[in-house]
Amino acid sequence: VFVSGRWQPQPRHAPLVLTLIIIAAFVAWFTGFGQNTLSTYLTMTDPRVHDFGTFAARVQALLATLSNGEIWRLLSPDFLHFSWMHIIFNSVMLWFLGSQIEWFDGRQRLLVLFIVVSVLSNGFQYLMSGPLFGGLSGVVYGILGYCWLSQRWRPRFQFPPALITFAVAWMALGYTPLSEILGLGRMANEAHLGGFLAGLALALILPVPKKAPPKGGA
């Protein structure tokens, strides 16, 4: 897994992460990067059916959607992406960080992180702005927050110290008009913030594994 001291996993080291990335790629392809009607089956609520102009309307729409058994919508916005750059950036970050969690802390821990962070980050974004968003960035922020804080108790993850600074600065940038001025469009700011806070909380709640896989294997 480590080559010349650097984390360089192969697919067999992180099959769950690889599966999530493959699903996201297929969804991006089949939804035309969120441009066709298939994407409306993956948003938190169906924007063709429900009103989402007010907070109360969004809550009512979500409750109606979940009561109809459409539970998958709590997670499915993760797999919606709106450009190649969008999915490539999220996939690279998910592979680099998520693969370390899957290897050191186990697949079950990563699955718990994915589900909890997804529900909280997607839910926060939806309640603040409605269903027109998507991407794995909320999960990436959650994983980064988990890695950064959990690392304080037991060092095992490898990432540049500047990454957390860059991520927080990028998140703050999303709350300014600069992202749209630069042509980056509107960011899913609440998903980023919700995911990051969820990851920090899980690092505090979940016990740090006592043992990690050895660093020598490939």
Its pTM stands at 0.91
Give every CB contact of residue 200 below 8 A, 6+ residues apart in sequence: 145, 146, 148, 149
What is the Cα 145 distance to its own chain's centre? Answer: 11
The DSSP code sequence of 173-209 is HTTSTHHHHTT-----HHHHHHHHHHHHHHHHHSPPP
> Of these residues, 13, 50, 86, 192, which one is catalytic?
192
Residue position matching structure tokens 């709106």? 82
Give every CB contact of residue 204 below 8 A, 6+ residues apart in sequence: 149
Mean pLDDT of the chain: 92
- pLDDT one-digit tens code per residue, 28-85: 999 999 999 999 999 999 999 999 999 999 999 999 999 999 999 999 999 999 999 9
- pLDDT one-digit tens code per residue, 116-153: 999 999 999 999 999 999 999 999 999 999 999 999 98
- pLDDT one-digit tens code per residue, 6-15: 888 899 999 9
Q: Can 118 be counted among the known catalytic residues? A: no
> Of these residues, 39, 118, 137, 150, which one is catalytic?
137
Q: Can 13 be counted among the known catalytic residues? A: no
pLDDT of 218 reads 44
